[in-house]
Copies of this chain bind each other. A is one copy, B any other.
Amino acid sequence: MLKPYVHKVQYYETDRMGVTHHSNYLRFMEEARVDYLEQIGYSYGRMESEGLASPVISVNIDYKKPTTFADEITIAVRIVEVTPVKLLIGYTMERQGEAVCAATSLHCFVDEKGHPISLKRVKPELYALLSSLTEKRS
């Protein structure tokens, strides 16, 4: 079983409205995604050393409740869909069981030169792994 990621909100992440600035959730998503990939055995470091990257091509974020300094945000990551050329990741963020934010990020796969690649062709074992973890196989 994968462990959800926990981000404790820092003072420097709040703004003068007294809440976590909305731009930081996009960073929490990256933190949780990095942690998730590490947990499934395919860390960013490993991807980089294998000449592979998976840049963000779009994001959607729904802010449901404000959070603030010292709040612990639990972030559950899931693979929503993977195709040979795209990866859709979902994020559910909760504070003490209450939903505070829901988001998705869409990624492509590129080689060291930044050229788009087919993950299925170039890294079939990672493609198979992500597929096995997917809610909606494709």
A residues apposed to B, CB below 8 Å: 10-12, 14-19, 21-24, 26-27, 30-31, 34, 43-45, 53, 55-63, 66, 68-70, 114
Contact = CB atoms under 8 A, between A and B. Distances in A.
Contacts of A69: 16, 44-45
Given A17-B53, A23-B23, A23-B26, A62 B70 contact: no
A68 B61 CA distance: 24
B11 A12 contact: no
A33 to B, nearest CB: 9
Majority SS of interface residues in chain A? mixed
As for how many copies of this chain the complex holds, the number is: 4
A114 B60 CA distance: 24
Given A22-B26, A23-B12, A23-B23, A57 B53 contact: no
A12 B17 contact: no
A19 to B, nearest CB: 7
Nearest to A63: B57
A37 B27 CA distance: 26
Contacts of A34: 10-11, 70
Listed from nearest, the 7 A-B pairs whose CB atoms lie closest are: A14-B16, A23-B26, A16-B18, A58-B62, A22-B56, A12-B21, A23-B27
